[in-house]
Amino acid sequence: MNETNHSQVTEFVLLGLSNSQELQPFLFLIFSLLYLAILLGNFLIILTVTSDSRLHTPMYFLLANLSFIDICVASFATPKMIADFLVERKTISFNACLAQIFFVHLFTGSEMVILVSMAYDRYVAICKPLHYMTIMSRRVCIILVLISWCVGFIHTTSQLAFTVNLPFCGPNQVDSFFCDLPLVTKLACIDTYVVSLLIVADSGFLSLSSFLLLVVSYTVILITVRSHSSASMAKARSTLTAHITVVTLFFGPCIFIYVWPFSGYSVDKVLAVFYTIFTPILNPVIYTLRNKEMKAAMSKLRSRYLKSGQVLQS
């Protein structure tokens, strides 16, 4: 990779979420609050799961890992977007742009695999309850988490390999609030048809195959749940609804962007807000408000902190 001859463009200009100047302070406020909520909500989930030994089960470990990835997904571009609301000309260096591409595919790639792992965990718990402890051992859990990061890494390096050597010689306006592939490859000054096709194939393969795995496992689970009607199945049903909501909200926009990636519709950046901001904020909401065990663990955590606060004061 020769730094000097692959590009004359040294920085890109991000057009941001909205080009209306009057809206910028308002958007600054809204997205700052949303970002704060993402950090608080997801850190709270990780804290609750790690501090309550009753939540030391595969389902909650995976949930805590999902929260961790959500923090990553929300942090690779959102702080810069928020700061950019305050400046008129939003620039990003060539290398920072490549870094954003790297991270968005690393994090969303591993998030997809974590979601599949969570579905697999529920499949084993509901369809093979007697073997749950042996199948979902601590080791298997750790392996699933490692696989998710490996898949994310392989996915993102393969994507970046297509892009890093593209020549950029003039146009440098990225019509979004972070650098993502379809928008950046469009700016290269050679015909990028083949590269675009490879990118669609790569992202499309990962998101569609994860999505299909999820659909299959949730269908099998739902059929199993339907044929039972005990109280435990009612609980299973509410967990499932939570999972399916998250999956739909996350995959809907991802698949839409990568199936029609070069349309250039500005609807793409609104969809990007969905998976970089709304999903990370919805996970804590969906998983904690609907979940009795999480709520109980959180109120225990709170009373413990209140007590230790009183001890400190007295």
Ligand X SMILES: *[C@@H]1O[C@H](CO)[C@@H](O)[C@H](O)[C@H]1NC(C)=O
Q: How far is CA 134 from the centre of its chain?
A: 29
- Per CB under 6 A, 141 contacts ligand X: yes
Between strands 90-93 and 173-174, the pairing is: unpaired
In the complex, least distance from residue 214 CB atom to ligand X, rounded to whole angstroms: 19
Give 276's DSSP letter. Answer: I
Under 8 Å between Cβ of 1 and 95 = no
Helices (H), 172-314: 181-185, 193-226, 231-259, 267-273, 279-289, 292-313
Nearer Cβ to ligand X (7/291): 291
Nearer Cβ to ligand X (28/153): 153
- Per CB under 6 A, 120 contacts ligand X: no
Nearer Cβ to ligand X (52/180): 52
Residue closest to ligand X when measured from CB atoms: 64
In the complex, least distance from residue 51 CB atom to ligand X, rounded to whole angstroms: 11
Count residues contacting ligand X (CB under 6 A)?
Answer: 10
Q: Which helix (H) or strand (E) holds 12?
A: strand 11-14
In 3D space, the residue among 66, 40, 64, 68 whose CA is nearest the CA of residue 50 turns out to be 64
In the complex, least distance from residue 142 CB atom to ligand X, rounded to whole angstroms: 4
Give 168's DSSP letter. Answer: B
Provide the mask over 11-50, with x wherever binding to ligand X is found by CB under 6 A and - wherever it is not.
-----------------------------------x--xx
Touching ligand X, residues 60-79 (CB under 6 A): 61, 64-65, 68
Under 8 Å between Cβ of 167 and 190 = yes
- Per CB under 6 A, 195 contacts ligand X: no
Q: How many CA atoms lie within 13 A of 1 on its CB side?
A: 9
Q: Which of the stretches 26-34, 57-65, 167-175, 232-240 binds ligand X when contact is defined by CB under 6 A?
A: 57-65
Nearer Cβ to ligand X (24/65): 65
CA-to-CA distance for 255 and 257, rounded, in angstroms? 5
In the complex, least distance from residue 243 CB atom to ligand X, rounded to whole angstroms: 17
Q: Which of the stretches 59-67, 221-229, 241-249, 301-309 binds ligand X when contact is defined by CB under 6 A?
A: 59-67
- Buried-state track 99-122, b at ≥16 Cβ within 10 A, e below 16: ebbbbbbbbbbbbbbbbbbbbbbb
Q: Which of the stretches 58-66, 82-90, 253-261, 302-310 binds ligand X when contact is defined by CB under 6 A?
A: 58-66
Binds ligand X by CB under 6 A, chosen from 83, 86, 142, 223: 142
Interface contacts to ligand X, rule CB under 6 A: 46, 49-50, 61, 64-65, 68, 141-142, 145
